[in-house]
């Protein structure tokens, strides 16, 4: 292995932002999107999974197609969406299709680790 290899990179160590983090919740920290693997108080180090497949809260009454680009509403509703405008950050793709019923409030997302631009 290369002498300069640090680690695989699917999980990164971050400092918890204001308010801390809760395990299993998606956070956007600067330009990085990931799911906290542990709960941590503000200022504490924690592990953030930036790659992988996770169940996340989604906008109800919104159908997802498998492989569709998935965005994150980081301000109003703290949920995943397939919206393409309105301040949403791209976070990955839908692992599978999801129905559009009002009770369909969870989707499975393959994270790409990057949330570079709010659309």
Domain extents in the chain: 11-111
pLDDT digits (tens, 9 = 90+) for 16-51: 999 999 999 999 998 899 999 999 999 999 999 999
- Tokens of residue 43, six digits: 């200022």
**44: which residues sit within 8 A by CB, 6+ positions away?**
15, 16, 20
| Angle made by CA atoms 109, 113, 115, in degrees to the nearest 5 | 95
pLDDT in tens, 73-99: 877 767 888 887 777 889 999 999 999
**CA distances from residue 38 to 20, 25, 44 in whole angstroms, order as listed:** 10, 9, 11
β-pair type (69-73, 79-81): antiparallel
């Amino acid at each position: 292995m290369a002498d300069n290899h640090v680690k695989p990179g699917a999980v990164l160590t971050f400092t918890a932002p204001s308010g801390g983090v809760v395990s299993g919740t998606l956070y956007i920290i600067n330009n990085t999107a990931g799911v906290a693997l542990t709960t941590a108080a503000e200022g504490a180090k924690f592990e953030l999974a930036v790659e992988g497949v996770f169940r996340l809260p989604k906008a109800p009454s919104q159908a997802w197609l498998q492989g569709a680009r998935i965005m994150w509403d980081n301000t109003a509703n703290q949920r995943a969406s397939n919206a393409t405008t309105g301040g949403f950050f791209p976070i990955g793709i839908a692992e599978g299709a999801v129905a559009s019923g009002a009770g369909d409030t969870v989707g499975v997302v393959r994270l790409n680790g990057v949330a570079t631009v709010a659309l």
